[in-house]
Amino acid sequence: MRRALSFVAIVLLASLAVVPVSTGGLRFYTDDPIGREPETRDASKATPLGIELFYEYAYNLFVTERKKPSNTRALNLNTVDEVPDSSWFTNRILDATGAPNLSAEHVARGPNSDHKPAPEQWVLLREKTAGTTPGFTARDANGQTWFLQFDAPQYPGASTADVEIATKIFWALGYNQVETFITTFDPRHVVIDKDATIRRPSGERTRFTHDDVRRILERAARNPDGTYRTSAGRLLPGRIVGNFRYSGTRPDDPNDLVPHQHRRELRALRVFGAWMNLVDLKAGNTLDALVTENARSVIKHYLQDVGSSLGMANDPGVWDMGWEYFYDGPAMRRRLRSFGFDLSPWQTVQYTEYPSVGRFEGDEFDPTTWKPQTPTSAYLELRADDAFWAARRVVAFSDDLIRAAVHEGEFTDAAAERHLAAVLMKRRDRIAQIYLAQINPIVDPHLSPNGTLTFGNAATAAGVAEPPTSYTARWSWFDNATGATQAIGETRSATTTIVPPAGWSRDGGSFVEIDIAAASVEHPSWQQPIRTYFRRTGDGWRLVGLERLADQQIPITSPERATEEKR
């Protein structure tokens, strides 16, 4: 990432005819690996950017879907193959070193502050204009602005629980999220703002009336006491400047240098989205906010609407969400040729349904065949190393963390709550089974002062693979200025602890390069080593570099799908 940013900086500086700048020839710098993406330029001139919904849908379905992945390694990685914190993403469920970082209390709280909505009175400002669920923009009794949305009558408690749970989980995964709370709405305590208007079918905006409120609430689930359960999302701080795309960069944001399809955290939504069944991946469900940080205006990017998750995007007559695109030519042609007798998986899968839980299952789930409503460029660019990175974060959600998130949905049916948590656990385990074992799963390498190498195996730790028969480490001194290496030797071990070769000496050099591979008959891809680099420090060695897959690509597929394709 530093090389990419340095190149862009040099081009910009050269275009301004400033004094020549040299980036130097070093492979690693004293601040490697960086923990936060540099965002040092002022973005105060950003203007609202709109993205037309139907154009985006059509383009993604008929243009993006036909593109071949570029097999480009993600461009926003630090030197140890991790995503640094940024205005896009914050390492939460795992910290920047890959260590668990959140408790059940953290997950249950999510992005929320202590300032809950005050539902004693709602002042309505306008109707909800996006999405299928009814709602309003309103001020509470404390004057705070909230975006309210309600449950459908046939699914009481479902949409509001979905929003609350998904917001907590995507926040824990690392994405910027809106503060959301489940609260109440009492139409007897409603005031309509004098300037409130509503859009009529003709397109004209006219005065918002109590009759309009009643018509909107007719599409919402009503409590026996006449109140309504609602999900309240707090108005974001800063100035909203539109949405972000899943490809390219934002031209009015000088800090937006990495094409979005090559940001690992956006590619990873293919894995996270599959786990949660977040089918509505589109620019309209994102927000860019211009905020002030360190006396500088920067754009903060929000994945702000994750409510089309957990099966709740399915209308009563829609069953294929997560299985097919809006328009899925091959599947449609197959059904047409067979006169409908060639059934798709979504037509035969067995769901356990509750009014407060959507069509969400884990027994037939395959993350490699999961599909959102429309593909995005970032979705198509997912590589095996991106999927491995994402799977580690999914697996970091223990059963207790999943239960803590699901409990925030405030279900009135304990069986529905248990069912939803169980499905999330099944889907988590399936993601681990496929993505953690697909490439060399060595993680968290450490080098002791005396040269003993230790590391973990993410696949065996998750219980989705047997330990390899042996591990091999090839050791070399590394010249940070020229990139030249000098071989030291090779050592093996049956465990995740390997001693250095006979030629090792702590004073042999400032950097050591170690290639680590595993011998597994079941997983031959583990023989492709990960390359690690350690820098000598005053009291030992520090990991400064890790290359997991470089520019080689391994096809992402499940064992069952691979067998079917061979047939």
Confidence grade of residue 8 (pLDDT, cut at 50, 70, 90): very low
Span 343-357, pLDDT tens digits: 888 888 888 888 888
pLDDT at 11: 36
Q: Give percent of the chain with pLDDT exceeding 70.
A: 90
Domains plus CATH for the chain?
2-107+242-436 (no CATH), 112-237 (no CATH), 442-547 (2.60.40)
pLDDT at 557: 56
pLDDT at 554: 59
Taking the whole predicted model, whether its pTM rises above 0.85 is answered as yes
Span 277-317, pLDDT tens digits: 999 888 889 999 999 988 889 999 999 889 888 887 656 55
Instruction: Give the residue among 538, 540, 480, 555 at the shortest CA–CA distance from 513.
Output: 480
pLDDT at 405: 97
Q: How many CB atoms lie within 10 A of CB 442?
A: 23
Interatomic CA distance for residues 399 and 397, integer angstroms: 7
Q: What is the mean pLDDT of the chain?
A: 88
Interatomic CA distance for residues 287 and 299, integer angstroms: 10
Over range 531-550, report the average pLDDT.
92
Query: Would you state the structure tokens that stand for residue 15, as one six-digit string?
Result: 């275009």
Instruction: Give the residue among 103, 105, 108 at the shortest CA–CA distance from 408.
Output: 108
pLDDT at 329: 82
pLDDT at 408 over 70: yes
Decide: 268 and 238 in contact? Cβ < 8 Å.
no
Span 74-129, pLDDT tens digits: 999 999 999 999 999 999 999 877 778 899 999 999 999 999 999 999 999 988 86
